[in-house]
Amino acid sequence: MDSHLHTPMYFFLSNLSFLDLCYVTCTNPKMLSDFFQKPRSISFMGCTTQYFFFSSLGLTECCLLAAMAFDRYAAICKPLLYTAVMSPALCVQMVVGAYITGSFGSLIQLCALLQLNFCGPNIVNHFFCDLPQLLVLSCSETIVLQVMKFVIAVVFGVTSVLVIMVSYGYIIVTILKISSVEGRSKAFNTCASHLTVVTLFFGSGLFVYMHPSSGSSLGSDRMASVLYTVVIPMLNPLIYSLRNKEIKDALKRCRMKRVFSHCHC
């Protein structure tokens, strides 16, 4: 609503907000309803559908976080070329590309998952349907899907982490060249907040998806899953929005406009 926020940074933040909203909607409503009803059940089709959307949105967020890191690199390290580099067309292409690649990566795993047989136990030892827990329930050979899960984690997770680390490496070098102590401190605080969220999201996600699925690891998987399904989406608004002076100023301007419009009426 505020024209001052019509920049690439806030374009990515708005998409991250939308992504987080969809992300938690895939898992949390069902989890909350299970607290108050028995038996706690979900159909096989519902389980695989939940996994597909949850997985595709998670992979999309990996790509989007990498795009946001590149945007910060362009803004801090190439300020004179920023508007030329981060054009509106490129921003849209990066976001659309993140959604397409995330959906494609999830679809590949879903197709492989549907080839498995599930003839044994049918209790999902988790609060939502995720690939590691579903592989444990299969009575088929899962080595191919285990390898696929690892490869997808490397392609999306490790590659995104590398892009983020390289981008912030250049950012830190540029910040160290700032003569103002206050300017350096402000920039480092911003980087630290973003890197904290990135570390928690990718650390917990890679922990779950880069080790072989087994019954003994499901407890630690559940704890790690809480981080990237509940905690991280809850922290993102606090870190990216409520601590942002420009967003606070925009909210004040919106409130003032409403007050003046009511007075005029």
The string of pLDDT tens digits covering residues 7-32 is: 888 898 889 889 988 988 988 888 88
Check residue 225 and give its pLDDT: 77
Which tokens sit at 183?
Answer: 């300017």
Yes or no: say if 213 and 132 are a contact pair by the CB < 8 Å rule: yes
- Describe the chain by its helix, strand, coil percentages, rounded to 5: 80, 0, 20
The 3-state DSSP class for residue 186 equals helix
Name the phi and psi angles at 165, rounded to 5.
-65, -45
Yes or no: say if 133 and 124 are a contact pair by the CB < 8 Å rule: yes
Domains, in order of start, for the chain: 3-258 (1.20.1070.10)
pLDDT band at residue 242 under the 50/70/90 scheme: low
Tell me which of 46-50, 173-177, 185-189 is least confident: 185-189
Kind plus residue range of the DSSP H or E element containing 242: none
Judged against a pLDDT cut of 70, whether residue 122 lies above it is answered with: yes
Tell me the DSSP string of 162-177: HHHHHHHHHHHHHHHT
- How far is 50 from 146, CA to CA, in rounded Å? 19
Closest listed residue to residue 229, CA positions, set 17, 69, 26, 65: 26
* Global confidence as pTM: 0.84
In terms of pLDDT, which residue wins out, 258 or 200? 200
Check residue 211 and give its pLDDT: 64
Mean pLDDT of 251-265: 66
Judged against a pLDDT cut of 90, whether residue 254 lies above it is answered with: no
pLDDT band at residue 94 under the 50/70/90 scheme: very high
Judged against a pLDDT cut of 70, whether residue 243 lies above it is answered with: no
**Which pLDDT tens digit goes with each residue over 30-79?**
888 888 887 888 888 988 999 999 999 989 999 999 998 898 888 888 88
Single-letter amino acid, residue 155: V
Q: Tokens 């969809």 sit at which residue?
A: 22
Percent of the chain with pLDDT over 70: 88
In terms of pLDDT, which residue wins out, 226 or 153? 153
- How far is 100 from 30, CA to CA, in rounded Å? 26
- How far is 208 from 222, CA to CA, in rounded Å? 9
Mean pLDDT of 223-234: 79
Kind plus residue range of the DSSP H or E element containing 4: none
Which tokens sit at 117?
Answer: 């047989």
Check residue 53 and give its pLDDT: 93
pLDDT band at residue 218 under the 50/70/90 scheme: low
Tell me which of 45-49, 159-163, 177-181 is least confident: 177-181
Question: Of the ranges 125-134, 164-173, 178-187, 238-247, which is most confident?
Answer: 164-173
Kind plus residue range of the DSSP H or E element containing 135: helix 131-137
Judged against a pLDDT cut of 80, whether residue 88 lies above it is answered with: yes
Check residue 64 and give its pLDDT: 92
Yes or no: say if 127 and 27 are a contact pair by the CB < 8 Å rule: yes
Numbers of helices and strands, H then E, in the chain: 11, 0
The whole-chain average pLDDT of the chain stands at 82
Check residue 198 and give its pLDDT: 82
46's CB contacts (< 8 A; 6+ apart) are none
pLDDT band at residue 214 under the 50/70/90 scheme: low
